[in-house]
Amino acid sequence: MARSVDWTLWGMLLTAAALELGGDLALKWWAETDRWLGMGAGLLLYSVSLILFAILLRRAELAVIFALWVGVSAGLLALAGWLLFGETLSFRHVVGILVVLGGVVLLGA
């Protein structure tokens, strides 16, 4: 029997990961430019992301939610660092991201 997908859970998880990504990018911007708006935005986005994470813990297991959140965020951060800040994204990095995202798919199934 096939399990149904909890789209609300996935939506909240992706929103939390996107907010964390925004927080990371804002803090990176603050670190490079010393503009305090980046620090404030980063802390605000992290706070909302953690609130969503806490709500997610009511709906699923800690290990699964944390692994999915970190996996999605790590993949997105590597891509964002490459696109926005010119950071290195080698073949090895791409393979690592794909392995992590494969784990995310297996955990979420």
Domain count for the chain, please give it: 1
Q: Is residue 20 within 8 Å of residue 69, measured between CB atoms?
A: yes
Would you say residue 2 lies in a domain? no
- Summarised one tens digit per residue, pLDDT across range 44-69 is 999 999 999 899 888 888 888 888 88
What is the C-alpha separation between 53 and 33, in angstroms, rounded? 29
Would you say residue 92 lies in a domain? yes
Q: Is residue 71 within 8 Å of residue 105, measured between CB atoms?
A: no
Would you say residue 34 lies in a domain? yes
The pLDDT score that the predictor gives to residue 25 is: 92
Q: Is residue 53 within 8 Å of residue 69, measured between CB atoms?
A: yes
- Summarised one tens digit per residue, pLDDT across range 64-109 is 888 888 888 888 888 888 998 888 888 998 898 888 888 877 876 6
Would you say residue 69 lies in a domain? yes
Would you say residue 43 lies in a domain? yes
Q: Which of 98, 19, 16 is nearest to 65 (CA)?
A: 16
